[in-house]
């Protein structure tokens, strides 16, 4: 491998988005404020390294609120929750901190408004993903889930109600466009979101990968297997005819992938810490490859911390 891979091109932008930064900092600040333990419903973000690091500091991740002691503090993950989860937290007397990404909250708000106005709603997304489950919970009687263009060809929607579609925030831009095209062909009056639901970070990272494809022989995407936006980066590369693999960290790289490759592209999903990318870069550098960043792009999006946390910090000051 050392004699073959000559260059590593880093995609830009990559790594943490503003919603992930906000969610991770929320747990860190809650631990500093309340001490151990701070409970978190589901993984705060979909990255195993982030979860293990926060566990070491005292965060306790649970799948269900029944695992949280009554009266304890619980953080809701960046992926959002259904109203039923919030109601359950109230019933158990839990102090809640909502770290839902504001861009996911926007989709939830759209779902509620469409449902209240009598719309039948198509949600484009992946079944079982926590973000999708939360959005479905906002209007379960009004929303139908569509996962693919094939689903869109066969979905049945009422003829006597206005129609609209919304999407998961971490989808493939290209695949979503195909699904929307099918829906618009079948249902010309279907309304679209006022602003695109696929988040800026997901779109930017996919475009950054596309710009690399003509220059690389292989793409490595640093991200955990349950990270939807990371998986979509792999899909983008493969869709463009370039082999690509998702790796949780340096240890997941199979050196056989690198045989015969001169230029390797490297990126990371929106929930992957940059230190994991740095470790991969150092590994390639030690083996003689030159690492450089392709067309650096700076993202300046930021979100305020959850209001519940900011109030608690002010009260404790």
| Alpha-carbon distances, residue 192 vs 94, 122, 162, 239 (angstroms) | 37, 10, 12, 26
Q: Which of 21, 28, 55, 131 is catalytic?
A: 131
Burial of 263 (0-12, 13-18, 19+ CB in 10 A): middle
Instruction: Give residues with Cβ within 8 angstroms of 175, minimum separation 6.
Output: 148, 149, 235
Number of C-beta neighbours around residue 225 at 10 A: 12
Known catalytic membership, residue 131: yes
Where do the DSSP E strands lie in 238-317? Answer: 243-247, 263-268, 290-293
Q: Are 265 and 218 in contact (CB under 8 A)?
A: yes
Q: Are 142 and 120 in contact (CB under 8 A)?
A: yes
Element (H, E) at 209: helix 200-212
Cis peptide before 38 (omega within 30 of 0): no
Residues marked as catalytic: 131
């Amino acid at each position: 491998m050392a004699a073959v891979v000559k260059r590593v091109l880093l995609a830009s932008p990559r790594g943490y988005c503003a919603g992930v930064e906000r969610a991770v900092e929320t747990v860190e600040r809650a631990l500093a404020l309340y001490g151990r333990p701070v409970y978190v419903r589901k993984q705060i973000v979909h990255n195993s390294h982030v979860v293990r690091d926060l566990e070491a500091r005292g965060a306790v991740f649970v799948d269900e609120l029944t695992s949280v002691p009554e009266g304890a503090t619980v953080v809701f993950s960046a992926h959002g929750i259904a109203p039923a989860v919030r109601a359950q937290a109230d019933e158990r007397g839990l102090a809640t901190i909502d770290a839902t990404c504001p861009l996911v909250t926007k989709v939830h708000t759209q779902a509620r408004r469409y449902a209240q106005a009598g719309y039948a709603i198509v949600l484009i997304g992946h079944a079982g993903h926590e973000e999708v489950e939360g959005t479905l919970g906002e209007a379960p009687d009004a929303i139908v889930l569509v996962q693919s263009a094939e689903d869109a060809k066969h979905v049945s929607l009422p003829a006597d109600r206005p129609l609209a579609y919304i999407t998961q925030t971490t989808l493939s831009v290209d695949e979503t466009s195909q699904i929307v095209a099918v829906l618009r062909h079948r249902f010309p009056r279907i309304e679209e979101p006022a602003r695109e639901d696929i988040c800026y970070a997901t779109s930017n990272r996919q475009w950054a990968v596309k710009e690399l494809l003509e220059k690389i022989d292989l793409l490595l995407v640093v991200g955990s297997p349950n990270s939807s936006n990371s998986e979509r980066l792999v899909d983008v590369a493969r869709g463009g005819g370039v082999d690509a693999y998702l790796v949780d960290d340096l240890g997941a790289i199979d050196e056989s992938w690198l045989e015969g490759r001169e230029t390797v592209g490297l990126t990371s999903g929106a929930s992957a810490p940059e230190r994991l990318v740095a470790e991969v870069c150092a590994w390639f550098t030690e083996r003689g490859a030159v690492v450089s960043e392709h067309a650096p792009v700076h993202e300046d999006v930021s979100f305020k911390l959850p209001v519940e946390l900011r109030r608690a910090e002010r009260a404790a000051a």
